[in-house]
Structure formats: structure tokens, C-alpha cells
Amino acid sequence: MSRIRAAVLGSPIEHSLSPVLHRAAYRELGLDDWTYDRFEIDEAALPGFVAGLGPEWAGLSLTMPLKRAVIPLLDAVSDTAASVKAVNTVVLTPDGRRLGDNTDVPGIVAALHERGIDEVPSAAVLGAGATASSALAALARICTGEVTAYVRSSARADEMREWGRRLGVDVRTADWSAAAAALTAPLVIATTPAGATDELAGAVPEAPGTLFDVLYDPWPTALAAAWTARDGALVGGLDLLVHQAVLQVEQMTGRPTGPLAAMRAAGEAALRARH
């Protein structure tokens, strides 16, 4: 039996749950001839790896630090990926083309939609990295008012305001020292590394809105735990990971609907096993 291959690339990559999610999708869809692996690939090794892909390859998932480095290697990039200058999905077509997309942005929107959040009057973003730009692109679709980004440097503030201009989002910036004020927003999206928001756990208001914390391991974060203790609505990093992976499966396999429930169950089981 000939195999159809897909994989996730990045560095570090050992922690990635993508193989668990994609393999669960293949089982659910009956795609017994599909395989999904992980490869430790940095920016220097990426061009050689991509150049060596044969016709058995259907697609790639990309994590840091490759989401921007892959763009010059592609034949076409979707409008969504171009808007945030980041590709996390590459579809390899039978005629040899390499097509780049970003499923993080619609993944954020889908995860919020699943919790009944289709529109918010304002929002706050904690952090200013690559995920923050995807968060702004998602907010461009659902936020009708101002977005305040809490950052640690003037350079980061300039970057977030520039992303706002590019994406059509009204972005105001504030220093990280005032980040506790973010927690009063109707929607808070935390895009920072593990531990960065722990200091804010004691500042969760009495009646919080919705927190979207993009981390999934460790989980819950101190902020997420404090949020749920106040009965605030919570969307987690696994929600984002599953929704963006569903879109990847649909694009790579050509199936119209990815098996969301099976993929989420596999991800939850894998995280329980880790801890």
C-alpha cells in the first residue's frame, strides 16, 4: 500500500500535539494509508527539507520558528496568511505546487464561536508575539470597537499598532505594568509564554468576561484557574489547537468536515497522560 504523508515541522517540536490530533482524524475518517509525523527542523534546515519532499507528501503543519521562514519557499499564500505574514499550513498539490495558509486566525474565531462569542464591543490582548498578530486578525472579524494590547516595550507597542493598521483594527497600546486593567475587557486573549500571566491571577475581577488563553500545557494556567473560580467563560489553547488542526485536515485531505470531537478527545487524553 502506498502511503500519503504529512507532518509537523518546528524547533523544538517534541511537545507538539499535532501528530495526536491528525492521526486521530485519519482513524476517524478511515484514511488508513495516511501517516503524520514530526520533524525537528529549524530555519536553516527548512529549504532543504521542503525541496526534498516527494509526490507522496500531502501537507505540512508549521510551528515556530518556521511560520514566516517558509513563505519564500511557497508558490502561493492565502490572503489570511499574507495579512499576518505567517503560514502554519502548507498543502502540496498533485501538480507539485506548495500552497500556504494560516488556520490559526479562523481557528481562534471558530473556538470563540463554539462558546457562543460571535461579536464583542472591545477586547484586550496580552503580549505582542506572532500569536498576537493572529489574535488581532481574528478580532478584525468579531470586535466592533477598540483593542488594547499590553506589551513590555515601546518597540513591541509600535509593532502592535502597525499590525492594527495592516489588519484594520483600532489598536491602543499600554505598558505591561498596567496589564491588570486588561482583565476588565469583555474578551481577553492571552498570547504570552507559560508563566507570564501568573502575576495577574490575583487581579481577576468579580464578574469577568471571557478569557482566551492560548496555552494548553501546562493547563490550567494560574490565570485560567483564577478566571474559572470567578465563573468567567474560558477558552483554552487546546480549543485553538483542535480548531486550527481541523481546518488543516480538511485542506490536506480534501474532506469537507474534519472530525472535531475525535480530535479533541485525543488531545485531552494525551494531555492527561502527560500529567
Residue 67 grid cell: 511560520
**What size, in residues, is the chain?**
275
Of the candidates 189, 252, 241, 235, the one whose C-alpha atom is nearest the C-alpha of residue 15 is 241
Please state the φ and ψ torsions of residue 125, each to the nearest 5 degrees.
Answer: -120, 130
Q: Which residue out of 22, 23, 38, 67 is catalytically annotated?
A: 67
Query: Is-contact 185 139, C-beta < 8 A?
Result: no
Beta-strand ranges (E) seen in the chain are 4-10, 34-40, 57-62, 76-77, 89-92, 98-101, 123-126, 147-151, 171-175, 187-190, 210-213, 233-235
| Alpha carbon 67 to chain centroid, angstroms | 11
Residue with cell 483594527: 169
Question: Does the annotation count 85 as an active-site position?
Answer: no
CA distance 245 to 17: 10
CA distance 78 to 247: 14
Catalytically annotated residues: 67
